Amino acid sequence: MKEDRLVFWGTGDAMGVPRVYCECPVCEEARTEGVNRRMRSMVAVENGEERFLIDCGPDWRMQMEQRGIRTVERILVTHPHFDHIGGLPEWADQCRWTGIRGELYAPSEVLEAIRERYPWLERNLELRETEPGLVLGGWNIAGWRVNHGKNGYSYAYRLEKQNFAWVYCPDSIGLSAAEIEPMRRADLLVLGTSFVYEEAEYSTRSVYDMREAAELLDEIRPVRTIYTHMSHDVDLNRLPELPRGVSAARTGLEVRLRQENPADEASI
């Protein structure tokens, strides 16, 4: 029987790693060994050859080529920032030339922003609202608005199937009690943490750092947490001590979406 897997196609923040201008140790390592090479954050939920993506950033074409995949039919979007939707025109072009009418899912306000930026997409894509909930790949999916700091808002998604529940929240900070509540009782939380410790003034920031994330996890207590959306401040070769059950994603990481997880994973 085929099983559901979460595959990390990208684990980087809005600018990716390496930064073209930067010669810091993390960026230099990313140019050589490449453990820290990170394209913009995107994941695939896969079951055999069936899949849907969450987000479609500007690295989408390279991520598809990297995995030898020629077509994608369904994509769920968290928010309308370029690092999460910059690949949509290329996806629409794929749909045009392969004769597939793609299905783009997002909350209504996100779809409106996408239409304003890319008004031609609906020639080749169906834009479908996620409200009041949807099912993709057998997963019951519910989304809710979360604080994205100085960058406005994003959406997090909770996905449930059989006895497994997981949450994808790549862009958030300073969540309220109401925003935190849907994250509780999760078998897996995928959370954006752009820095180990971000020194910028709080009002200028938009994503949790790892120190703040540890405090959040202390409250909501997911069974397992994986950090993503990481900048060149994060060196996967020299991570700080992380809380129990917490790890940082590498490109190609595959996670079985079932309760008898947590050690069965691989980096590709």
pLDDT by residue (tens digit) across 152-198? 999 999 999 999 999 999 999 999 999 999 999 999 999 999 999 99
Q: Average pLDDT in the 3-26 region? A: 97
Cβ atoms of residues 72 and 91 within 8 Å = yes
Q: Average pLDDT in the 6-33 region? A: 96
End-to-end CA distance of the chain: 23
Fold topology of 4-266: Metallo-beta-lactamase; Chain A (3.60.15)
The answer, yes or no, to whether residue 24 has pLDDT greater than 50, is yes
Output the pLDDT for position 267: 47
3-state SS record for 83-103? HHHCCHHHHHHHHHHHCCCEE
Where does the pLDDT of residue 261 fall: very low under 50, low under 70, confident under 90, or very high at 90 and above? very low
Residues facing 10 on adjacent strands? 42
Q: What is the DSSP letter of 160?
A: E
Where does the pLDDT of residue 17 fall: very low under 50, low under 70, confident under 90, or very high at 90 and above? very high
Per-state percent for the chain, helix, strand, coil, to nearest 5: 25, 30, 45
Q: Under DSSP, is residue 47 helix (H, G, I), strand (E, B) or coil?
A: strand
* Strands 139-147 and 188-192, sheet pairing: unpaired
pLDDT tens per residue across span 225-260 = 999 999 999 999 999 999 999 999 999 999 999 976
